[in-house]
Amino acid sequence: MVGLQEIFVLKLFLMMCGVTLVGLLMGAAPGLTATMAVALLIPITFPLSTTYALVLTGTIYMSAIYGGSFSAILLNTPGTPSSIATCFDGYPMAKRGEGQRAILIASFSSVYGGLFGVIFLLLLAVPLSVIALKFGPPEYFWLAVLGITVIAALSTGNIVKGFIGGAIGILISTIGIAPVGGSMRFTMGIPNLNAGVALIPALIGFFCIPAVLDMVVQREEEIHLLKTSKVQARLFLETFKEVMKKQVDLLRASFIGLFIGMLPGAGGSVANLVAYEEAERASKHPEKFGTGIPEGIIASETANNAVVGGSLIPLLTLGVPGSPPAAVMYGALLMHGVQPGPQLFTGNSQAVFTFIVGLFVATLLMLPIGIALAGGMTKLVSRLSIKVLAPFIIFLTIIGSYSIRNNILDVYIMLTLGVLGYVLKKLGFEPGPITLGLILGPIAETGLIQSLLIGGTLPHSWMILFKYPLSWVLIILSITSLFWPLFRKIFSNKASNSQQSPDPEV
Amino acid sequence: MERFNKRILSLILVLVVLSLSLTSCTKKEAVYPSTPITYVLCFDPGGESDITARFQQPVLTKLLSVPIAISYITGGGGGTGWSQLTTTTPDGYTIFGTNLPHIIVQPLTGNAGYKTEQIDNIYMFESTPCILVVGQNSPIRTFDDFLKYAKAHPGMSVGGSGEPSSNSLALARLAQLSNLKLTYVSFTGSGTAITALLGGHVDALMTYTSTFIQYKDKWLPLAVATEGRLGILPDVPTFKELGYDLVEKAYRGVAVPPGTPENIRKVLEQAFEKVNQDPEVIKEMENLGFIMENYNEAQSKALVDQLTPYYTQLLETTKKP
């Protein structure tokens, strides 16, 4: 309980409020990621006590992930890679004039997922860390394969085009030095391409630029996408009840986020997509996904905030960070002389206990600050004319892609991919599958090549891919996910034959 | 209302552009240093370079009386940053963290975007020697066991971080010296190599002393690639005493762009030398498994010159078919 007393020191509480606000803004700005927010905060917290430093870095991590949903909903551009799937239903909802509602749904889901992750971190960190270790190269390969099958679910229109899009993404991800072996591929002799196409500039390019070009091409009156209703108490309560009724969806997404967060090779960028796919698969009306329904936002936003607690489990118990922002926090832990290990949970480590309690409070704190900020943002975006908004977003995209690695080449890459993305979108290739390929391609490749290297002692090296039970679980999930649309069709046909289906379209 | 917003926005834009253009033209003073120095790291925050720089930062700020701002240019195993180093204005206000053997090996294996000679190392301040480790539950208990196991299981997997890297080169050298078939499995990103050994996905790990120190309760060290035994690991034998001429460590230092004036280089060299004498820095670094090194500019150059033929030959003889 000493942990609680420390949190309610006014000084720390005020700092947490400030840091939450900064985190939300950084998360909302495309290009400024949670990782960067944590990295920028660490030198500022260095003179503070270990407890303060940990609580504040945890706070900014949590709030930046949540902040990513604002731009996903309002601008159709994920603020961080953790909010890609939030665009799919958030933006259509905002376009209908329900931006406020979409943001409220994202807010409640984020807080739910965040709290869920933190509670598991507090209670079950040590046993859970054992599961994370079971994930070896073959399992990472199959996890990536499972992720790629999400394309089948994502492509509302043409599945073939979805897979071609995914292949384009994987191809782009192979540019640069190979993750295993170190050979150079498709660099065309340009040394700056050795580092490959960074995810964030590509993400900004594929999502932001086509959205802005669309805005400019459309007629002005169509642009005023957001009705400027205030956040009324009624809407707040109604949405809260609506979200809380979907306990199954919330829990499913929370578990997915927690689990994927624990794996060092995957993070929020994978979790939100997998959660979205699983939500669609479990849904009774999967065809409505992508048209702006609450379940889509709930899946993505619950999962990405559950990643936070999940990624801290291996960090604190094993000293292995579960996500890029957690890796930055690892450096902070070492500098403050905190030695990660199971003893942090069994022994009497005051700092870590206070840290987890602080994270809990920070997650709750996001709600009022986030909703107030989102209200202002919605108003701003809805009032700005397209002549101001479009250049301003372009300005943000350039700053964002440059600041990732301080590399001007990333800006050119972003603009090139942006134009490519616009053309592809017009041809029916959505940005979702392309970025999915870009994220999962390297995970699949690394897992596959490492597996084949390790399997060298077996009669055939590929046998290692089918050796472990965990791999089989992932293989079966991938197969069902791939053929799910087909199963569903057969199933629903039968259902409509035997009993009169209320939905005549199927 | 719309018009009002537009005006405010354009005002902000003008201010941002102005402030950006101002910062780029104020660094022309006679006394060095008179404005903040940017310390560029070529690896992600949270790694060894970052931890070292964070310890140095407060001491350097005090010594040079200007703020030291740490920033990151990452990617390509550090290569992206180092190729930018060669085109940075040589005014001493942007300095870069560098690593050996990376800056020797990368230009040897392809178009890295820079040449080893273009990296003017001012000071090499620490190193992390390679160490061969297995899990506590492994049947391998000693280096001798390791050799026997490798003979019985040709192609046994040994994990490590990056390729080509200090880890991969150490293993290549070991395979060459012992005439054994060892498979190097390269891991990327923080943590994945560590979990690979903790989870038993690889048979052994070639890692750095700084990593081993974090897991000394869970891992068993077999041999360390240094000239003599290390003070922090007195019970771990060296490869040399076991009969294998394998000395391999990753050095970290700081460099300036080519053409930086002599007086600026001297100021920086002396500052980093003093940082390395700070008892607090030494204590913190050694606790984390880093080995303090003291190579000034001339000695750093000699070190690079001495190691280049070794790595050239090692890469030549261990080239994959």
Judged by CB atoms closer than 8 Å, whether chains meet at B84 and A383 is answered as no
Judged by CB atoms closer than 8 Å, whether chains meet at B199 and A134 is answered as yes
Least confident of A250-259, A495-504, B12-21: A495-504
**pLDDT of B254 above 70:** yes
**pLDDT of A43 above 80:** no
Judged by CB atoms closer than 8 Å, whether chains meet at A406 and B183 is answered as no
H or E segment and range at residue B187:
strand B182-187
**pLDDT of A77 above 90:** no
Q: Which residues make beta-bridge pairs with B159?
A: B185, B205
Question: Residue B4 has what pLDDT?
Answer: 52
Whole-angstrom distance, CA of residue A116 vs CA of residue A247: 12
Mutation target vs A (from B7, B49, B80; most A CBs, 10 A cutoff): B80
Mean pLDDT to the nearest integer, A372-395: 81
Q: Quick one: CA torsion of A382, A387, A392, A393, rounded to 10 degrees?
A: 70
User: Where do we find the tokens 């009156």?
Assistant: A221
Whole-angstrom distance, CA of residue B203 vs CA of residue B93: 46
Least confident of A40-54, A132-146, A217-231, A348-362: A217-231
In the 8-state DSSP scheme, what is residue A504?
Answer: T
**pLDDT of A492 above 70:** no
Question: Residue A1 has what pLDDT?
Answer: 47
Q: How many CB pairs under 8 A join A and B?
A: 179
Mean pLDDT to the nearest integer, A2-20: 79
More confident residue, B280 or A181: B280
Give the sign of the dihedral formed by CA A278, CA A283, CA A286, CA A289.
negative
Question: Residue A502 has what pLDDT?
Answer: 44
Question: Residue A177 has what pLDDT?
Answer: 82
Which chain B residues touch A454 with a CB distance below 8 Å?
157, 183, 185, 201-202
For residue range A437-458, list pLDDT tens digits in order: 888 898 899 999 999 999 988 8
**pTM, rounded to two decimals:** 0.82
Question: Residue A368 has what pLDDT?
Answer: 93
Judged by CB atoms closer than 8 Å, whether chains meet at A319 and B214 is answered as yes
Judged by CB atoms closer than 8 Å, whether chains meet at A177 and B55 is answered as no
Judged by CB atoms closer than 8 Å, whether chains meet at A191 and B188 is answered as no
Tokens of A75: 């601008």
Tokens of B128: 């992390």
Tokens of B32: 């060095």
User: Where do we find the tokens 């890295």?
Assistant: B112
pLDDT band at B77 (very low <50, low <70, confident <90, very high): confident
- How are beta strands B219-224 and B37-41 bridged, if at all? unpaired
Judged by CB atoms closer than 8 Å, whether chains meet at A191 and B113 is answered as yes
Q: How far apart are the CA of A344 and the nearest CA of chain B, in angstroms?
A: 14
Question: Residue B6 has what pLDDT?
Answer: 61
User: Where do we find the tokens 């066991």?
Assistant: B145
For residue range B205-253, list pLDDT tens digits in order: 999 999 999 888 899 999 999 999 999 999 999 999 999 999 999 999 9
**pLDDT of A94 above 50:** yes
**pLDDT of A421 above 80:** yes
Whole-angstrom distance, CA of residue A135 vs CA of residue B196: 8
Judged by CB atoms closer than 8 Å, whether chains meet at B54 and A43 is answered as yes
Closest by Cβ to A384, choosing from B5, B45, B154: B5
Q: How far apart are the CA of B18 and the nearest CA of chain A, in angstroms?
A: 15
Question: Residue A331 has what pLDDT?
Answer: 78
Least confident of A284-288, A349-353, B15-19: B15-19
Q: How far apart are the CA of A254 and the nearest CA of chain B, in angstroms?
A: 23
Which chain A residues touch B201 with a CB distance below 8 Å?
136-137, 454
Q: How far apart are the CA of B173 and the nearest CA of chain A, in angstroms?
A: 16
Whole-angstrom distance, CA of residue B149 vs CA of residue B12: 67
Mutation target vs A (from B38, B149, B192; most A CBs, 10 A cutoff): B192
Q: How far apart are the CA of A453 and the nearest CA of chain B, in angstroms?
A: 7
Write b or e for each residue in B190-228: b if 16 or more Cβ atoms lie within 10 A of its Cβ, otherwise e. Answer: bbbbbbbbbbebbbbbbbbbbbbbbbeebbbbbbbbbee
Which chain A residues touch B189 with a CB distance below 8 Å?
264-265, 327
Mean pLDDT to the nearest integer, A183-191: 80
Question: Residue A348 has what pLDDT?
Answer: 56
For residue range A189-244, list pLDDT tens digits in order: 777 787 788 888 888 888 888 888 887 887 555 555 555 555 567 888 899 999 99
Question: Residue A231 has what pLDDT?
Answer: 57
More confident residue, A83 or A194: A83
- How are beta strands B120-135 and B219-224 bridged, if at all? antiparallel
**How far from A25 is each of A67, A113, A505, B76, CA to CA, in Å?**
6, 20, 43, 30
**pLDDT of A416 above 90:** yes
Q: How far apart are the CA of A95 and the nearest CA of chain B, in angstroms?
A: 20
For residue range B11-68, list pLDDT tens digits in order: 566 555 555 554 544 444 468 899 999 999 998 777 889 889 989 999 999 999 999 9
Judged by CB atoms closer than 8 Å, whether chains meet at A182 and B77 is answered as yes
Mutation target vs B (from A192, A263, A396; most B CBs, 10 A cutoff): A192
With CA atoms as reference, the chain A residue closest to B283 would be A337
Closest by Cβ to A194, choosing from B5, B113, B188: B113
**pLDDT of A116 above 90:** yes
**How far from B154 is each of A79, A87, A169, A454, CA to CA, in Å?**
48, 50, 37, 11
Question: Residue B45 has what pLDDT?
Answer: 77
ipTM of this complex prediction, to 2 decimal places: 0.79
Contact B286, B230 (CB under 8 A): no
The residues, ordered by sequence, that sit 6+ positions from B266 with a Cβ below 8 Å of its Cβ are: none
**pLDDT of A168 above 50:** yes
**pLDDT of A106 above 90:** yes
Which chain B residues touch A196 with a CB distance below 8 Å?
75-76
Judged by CB atoms closer than 8 Å, whether chains meet at B72 and A39 is answered as yes
Mutation target vs A (from B1, B12, B50; most A CBs, 10 A cutoff): B50
Judged by CB atoms closer than 8 Å, whether chains meet at A184 and B110 is answered as yes
Closest by Cβ to A335, choosing from B54, B112, B194: B54
More confident residue, A388 or B283: B283
Instruction: Strands of B24-119 (E only): list them.
Output: 37-41, 68-72, 94-100
Which chain B residues touch A314 with a CB distance below 8 Å?
191, 195
User: Where do we find the tokens 């394969």?
Assistant: A145
**pLDDT of A351 above 80:** no
pLDDT band at A59 (very low <50, low <70, confident <90, very high): very high
With CA atoms as reference, the chain A residue closest to B46 would be A331
Which chain A residues touch B79 with a CB distance below 8 Å?
177, 191, 194-195
Which chain B residues touch A456 with a CB distance below 8 Å?
155, 157, 183
Mutation target vs A (from B61, B185, B210, B319; most A CBs, 10 A cutoff): B185
Q: How far apart are the CA of B77 and the nearest CA of chain A, in angstroms?
A: 8
Judged by CB atoms closer than 8 Å, whether chains meet at B201 and A177 is answered as no
Tokens of A39: 């990295």
Least confident of A40-49, A491-500, B147-156, B287-296: A491-500
Which chain A residues touch B155 with a CB distance below 8 Å?
456-457
More confident residue, B320 or B163: B163
Q: How far apart are the CA of B306 and the nearest CA of chain A, in angstroms?
A: 25
**pLDDT of A390 above 80:** yes
